Structure 1
Amino acid sequence: MQLLDNALKIEAEHGTDAAFPQGFAAFVRSHGLPRATAYRHRERVKLEGRWQPRSRAPRNRPNATPERVRARVIALREELGPDNGADMIRAALLVEAAEQDWASQGLVVPARSTINAILDRAGLLTKTPRKRPRSSYRRFVYARPRDCYQIDGTTITGLPVGRVCVIEVLDDCTRTLVATRACWAETTKDAIAAVNAAIASYGAPAIVLSDNGTAFSTTARRGGTQRSRFAQNLDRHGVRLIHSSPYHPQTCGKVERHHQTFNKWLAASGHQPQTLTHMQALCDQYQDWYNTQRWHSAIRATPAATWANAPALGGPTSLPAQTDAHIYAARVDKTGRVWMHGTSITIGRAHTGQTMTVVIDGQHANVHDHDGHHLGHLTLDRDRRNQGQLIA
């Protein structure tokens, strides 16, 4: 039809002979155009006096987002500061809708995709095409609060106080920030203080997950085999320590990602701490805001509400109960193997008598020793009784 429209445009500007030397009917037949459509297009040009493309947009949009809602979406993009993504905007709109009774006014809170479309049309959407889509991730979450705490430190520079470290302890299930501690460096002493503060405020977890930093994994005696002071402290609370795989920060991904949220909040707040005491006060202020006010997109609520509504809490007296993964505490027998429900994994005779933590996620198994160090992994073959040697 583009050819016909171009020819009609020439006819409107230069006459019929210039556009259709053999006549309009012959032009339609030679190009195999629908006769009714061709004459309808020509009649429109005669009535309007010129060719003008018409909008293909529908004349009315009964399901279009009202202007009032669109305006609030754009306004919240600015008002929410660093947390101004579609999920956070929708959470704020849900609160406003309840307070202002949008339902009685025929207004509804738009979906996340609609909010992104509104921001895109307004030129406010930052596109990241290289970012992996959410559907490509496999999320691992412990089933109950206190099943697992993740601990890690982040270094912050550029403040009047100088270079500081903030050690954060995060509950894996509810994303509750159970402790935050400002210190000069990520030391064992401060790591112990942070995890003890979490235990005092929220209770002891079944597992503490950390990376292989010196604050968490250094042995008590250089070159010796004695457990680290951090691990010994957890032993007194009956808590098992697990370290993530070396050079694999995704294992502690929740607390690693949380550092970014804290850094954004600190930058947007405009606070310039002059002392470590002031920095700790800001950490305490952030912890309260994050737990009780900030809506978390992964859990669709605030961390405090998720914790309060949990039907049960975990702890040292029972290993985490998982539906998507299984965790076993198994002792290495004299043949160097551990057994789980008739299936064995070869660890090595050097570990005979030691208790291992085995995490089985689908067909994949990871084994950690009593100190929490990752010993290796393997892919399970359900048709075999003995799964063979671990892959370091």
Structure 2
Amino acid sequence: MPWSEVSVVELRKEFVMLAGQPGAKVASLCRRFGISRKTGYKWLGRAAAGEMALSNRSRRPGSSPRRTAEEMEASVLAVREAHPCWGGRKIARRLHDLGWSDVPAPSTVTAILRRHGVALGQAVPAGPFQRFERARPNELWQMDFKGHFALASGRCHPLTVLDDCSRFNLCLAACGNERSETVQSHLRSAFRRYGLPDWIIADNGSPWGNGPDTPYTPLGVWLLRLGIGVSHSRPYHPQTLGKEERFHRTLKAELLAGPPFGDLRHCQTAFDRWRLVYNCERPHQALDMDVPATRYRPSERSFPEALPPIEYGSEHKVRRVQQLGWINFKGKAFRLPKAFAGYPVGLVPTTDDGLWHVIFASRHIAEIDLRNGSSKTVTHVSEHL
């Protein structure tokens, strides 16, 4: 299968960066990127000759012993022109990553910008804040829609998915709506390329939730069937999805603040180009100025094209959820979330007499109490920042 016609160079660069990480499985990456191993190794070989080999555009050599101070200043200004929101630290690190020797200190880069009349934003003082992150890639993905914006024709609803550990952007999709089937389609593409995460966190709104009291939707049920845990942010507490919120601010400042897009296709092309910059070129302060692609590894859990069967052990009492979410157990009716209608669930007793756990595809989703005939949905609410 050939490379996609959209953003060919961007796909090559991302492939090369991921394949170059320790422990990377080139054959698996080739399958996920839809190319042959011969093609993959060809681009790895060409990349070893320099970044310029991945595209037909000319590139400045990575190093030159005769480079003058004027050339360095010109390079600083060129990086700034390409990325108007970057400051001295990001520009200095990017020049280093491109192979320049004797890169000036970030403070010197900032002085060069000021000397040439380049406007710089005001530094925001850091307040007391404790950041939490997962220990390895794919333990947790954060997912959200950024607020929609107008196009020349229609509206765009950007869907974004971020790996919590590496800040690697796994999905940046220009969507025409926020429906469940739209999100599922883009997640399916991300799963095929990067594998399955252990857990996904989203907010309480549609399509991943129907409010704090109704956390399960058909989209969430599909994720549970894939063996992916689902959490929701604390209600009215957007800081729970802090990395997504910060990503949205960067997206707005570096891309969406520019000229308006004509349509969704035009918007997606711009998203693809900027996503490569964010993942593979833009130094990230929270990563000690590394780029996210150097910290990310695709998951070893591949996406199954056919959903696995729902099976329970002999210790489970199996019941099928009826319409509107009802199940009958030991002569009593109990209400479960409607999203599970038509699926079997397993019931196992707890150490409390009369209290039973309700399990769906290995996940604890509810509790029922035979003593008073009540049921309680289990909501996984995260305080993660």
Same fold (TM over 0.5): yes
Contact in 2 for aligned 1:332/1:353 (Cα 8 Å): no
Of residues 241, 260, 279, the one that matches 1:291 is 279
Distance 1:284 1:192, change over 3 A: same
Query: Within 1, Cα distance between the matches of 2:196 and 2:158?
Result: 21
Contact in 2 for aligned 1:81/1:268 (Cα 8 Å): no
Of residues 60, 79, 82, the one that matches 1:80 is 82
Give the secondary-structure state (helix, strand or coil) at the position aligned to 2:196: coil
Flag structure 1 segments of 5+ consecutive residues without an equivalent: 1-65, 103-107, 317-330, 337-348, 358-368, 378-392
Query: Within 1, Cα distance between the matches of 2:279 and 2:121?
Result: 29
Distance 1:228 1:121, change over 3 A: same
Contact in 1 for aligned 2:162/2:169 (Cα 8 Å): yes
Give the secondary-structure state (helix, strand or coil) at the position aligned to 1:84: coil
Give the secondary-structure state (helix, strand or coil) at the position aligned to 2:295: helix
Task: Map residues 117-156 of structure 1 onto 2, 5 A cutoff.
Answer: 119=113, 124=118, 126=120, 128=122, 131-133=124-126, 136-156=128-148
Query: Within 1, Cα distance between the matches of 2:215 and 2:95?
Result: 54
Deviations 1:157-210 (A, max 9, x none): 242133210111111111221122222222222222232222111010001011
Task: Map residues 282-361 of structure 1 onto 2, 5 A cutoff.
Answer: 282-299=270-287, 300-308=289-297, 333-334=350-351
User: CA RMSD, aligned part only?
Assistant: 4.0
TM-score by length of 1: 0.54
Flag structure 2 segments of 5+ consecutive residues without an equivalent: 1-67, 304-347, 366-376
Query: Within 1, Cα distance between the matches of 2:111 and 2:90?
Result: 15
- In the other structure, the counterpart of 1:241 is 230
- In the other structure, the counterpart of 2:169 is 177
Query: Within 1, Cα distance between the matches of 2:349 and 2:117?
Result: 60
CA shift for structure 1 position 128: 3.7
Give the secondary-structure state (helix, strand or coil) at the position aligned to 2:146: strand
- In the other structure, the counterpart of 1:280 is 268
Contact in 2 for aligned 1:77/1:85 (Cα 8 Å): no
- In the other structure, the counterpart of 2:13 is none
Contact in 1 for aligned 2:195/2:300 (Cα 8 Å): no
TM-score by length of 2: 0.55
Of residues 145, 149, 159, the one that matches 1:157 is 149
Query: Within 2, Cα distance between the matches of 1:169 and 1:225?
Result: 22
Distance 1:117 1:138, change over 3 A: farther
State the aligned residue count: 258
Contact in 1 for aligned 2:208/2:216 (Cα 8 Å): no
CA shift for structure 1 position 259: 1.8
- In the other structure, the counterpart of 1:112 is 106
Q: Percent identity between the aligned chains?
A: 28
Query: Within 2, Cα distance between the matches of 1:68 and 1:266?
Result: 29
| One-letter amino acid of the structure 2 residue matched with residue 92 of structure 1 | R
- In the other structure, the counterpart of 1:203 is 195
CA shift for structure 1 position 243: 0.6
